[in-house]
Chain A
Amino acid sequence: MELYNLTMYQIKEKLEKKEIKAVEVLESTLKRIDSVEDKVQSYITLTRDIALEKAKEVDKKIQNNEPIGLLGGIPMAIKDNICTEGILTTCGSKMLEDFVPPYSATVYEKLLIEDSIMLGKTNMDEFAMGSSTESSFYKKTKNPWNTDRVPGGSSGGSAAAVSAGEAFFALGSDTGGSIRQPGAFCGVVGLKPTYGLVSRYGLVAMANSLDQIGPITKDVTDCALVLNTIAGHDFKDGTSSERNKVDYLKTLNEGIQGLKIGIPKEYFDEDLSEPVRNTLLEAIEVFKNLGAVCEEVSLPHTKYAMAVYYIIAQSEISLGLARFDGIKYGYRALNYKNIEELITATRSEGFGDEVKRRIMMGTYWLSGSNHENYYRRANKIRGLIQQDFNNLFSKYDIILTPTTTTTAFDLGVDQKAPLKKGKLDGYTVSANLAGIPAISIPCGFYDGLPIGMQLMGNMFNEEALLRAARAFEKSTNFNDRPKL
């Protein structure tokens, strides 16, 4: 088997036993990128030279019997809305075409301290707004399982890169499902951690109360390994939690005998396609056979989640993106007569259609009496959605749902009907609204395309989430790799 097809854990073992060198792992991955990137187009920027330097450094450490970091020698990719000092960070937007950040996100620093090797920055929907990665200013990423299909979004480049063997893991960001949905579409594991578990310092914000950074990996063990390295308090992020660190690998393989799983009926509605429904019903049987107790439950406010999400996310977007004015950094329009024109022309030319739509709506939700009628009302219903989850988590450990209604859809469909795709995010937004952790793992295939299952857990209970996901993964075999 080629090195690029192995998991992080397998690579880690081989490096530690000195069976292979970090440079060989890197070269295998770069060769893979050379042969498939034309078809998949996961990356906006590749950083080959920096990667090679770093791999040589790691080899030197191993040769000298010096300790290496937890991710020593493992090639990875970072979504292009996470700041990397000295390396282009575009957010998939024309607005930041030349932006080279003078500082690094905390997560990126943590990954470097653990000696991982960055291959480059991955493609994404513009400012993380979208479900197909097609709103990127730069390119259209393809689904590695079928290149006529989308990879999902907004972290589509990250999910496609891991799925195609162009990186061993990648970081994404998730505001309404942007890690889990592309994870499901590309047949990889995607985790949105609890709000506050992972520092957002250096993540270009989309919606501050919803955004979280998380890992996209080939399997659940790798997911726990990455989470171990990026979780933890950060003084640079005022919303970051001060809880003690947890070793997510420690209890990963303890099994799920007696685990109580709630299956909310609202997530098995008429929007759910038959193939995904049938696959999920089979997955529930797997959990029962593993000793879990599965019961039907209800999350009564689920039907309001999308509307609440639209209002809150768009409102926060309109505030967050107010900073793009063509003065301090980023694109500036060529023709203007005064400061007003400079700002308006810069924003009108620099932002794409989807971003402008959301800024307009957010401005509307927050203006005048709409603030009370829409924004505050949405926030109160957000509270009711959170209460639904709190009620369930007093009796259940895990909530099991599909990640998406269907498998990956065709390229070009999403852009035409901006509201229709709302239903696509219908199963993922509630976790962001409630702040709880949620993971998507592969649970089957239909017509050659992967299907994802979502598991949601209580606040800061990533341990139970990962343990359940690992137990399922161990007793099934859905971690195939696409043939490209």
Chain B
Amino acid sequence: MDNIANLAKLNFSKDEKEELQIYIENLLDYVEVLKEVDIYEEDTYITVLEGSFNAETRNLRDDNIEDSFSREAILKNAPSKKDGFFSVPNVLA
């Protein structure tokens, strides 16, 4: 659990961990049912997209440079900013 929480970048109190433990165990039990399905065809791995993920068959937007948001608009929602940049604590020790 601590490993998963670390990967998910979440902290839990002792009580929260106990509750979560029960939830996880119940859910693991619940999805056991999937083990009884015979999967013999690899190609049942599907997508809900029309066509495929293949870039040649999908009509993607041309890769042109276009106007995007201004620096002010992007920074407007930042919880901390300085000199026109996002501000964070030291990343390199």
Contact = CB atoms under 8 A, between A and B. Distances in A.
B65 interface: no
A103 B88 CA distance: 25
Contacts of A251: none
Interface stretch (A114-122, A279-287, A338-346): A338-346
B39 to A, nearest CB: 5
A434 B48 contact: yes
A206 to B, nearest CB: 15
A330 B79 contact: yes
B2 to A, nearest CB: 11
Nearest to A382: B46
Contacts of B48: 195-196, 209, 386, 434-435
Interface string A291-313: 00000000001011011101100
A311 B10 contact: no
Nearest to A381: B37
Contacts of B91: 339
A395 interface: no
Category for how many chain B residues contact A:
35 or more
Category for how many chain A residues contact B:
35 or more
A325 B88 CA distance: 11
A5 B53 CA distance: 46
Per DSSP, chain B at the interface is loop
A357 interface: yes
A98 interface: yes
Per DSSP, chain A at the interface is helix
Closest 9 CB pairs of A and B: A383-B44, A435-B48, A329-B77, A332-B79, A383-B46, A102-B73, A348-B11, A363-B8, A307-B31
B76 interface: yes
Interface string B1-29: 00011011111100010001001101100
A234 B91 CA distance: 39
A377 B34 contact: yes
Interface of B: 4-5, 7-12, 16, 20, 23-24, 26-27, 30-31, 33-34, 37, 39, 42-50, 58-61, 69, 73-74, 76-80, 86, 88-91
A360 interface: yes
Nearest to A101: B77
Given A100-B76, A331-B79, A337-B89, A379 B46 contact: yes
B92 to A, nearest CB: 10
A99 B79 CA distance: 10
A363 B34 contact: no
B88 to A, nearest CB: 6
Contacts of A351: 10
A155 to B, nearest CB: 20
A446 interface: no
Contacts of A345: 11
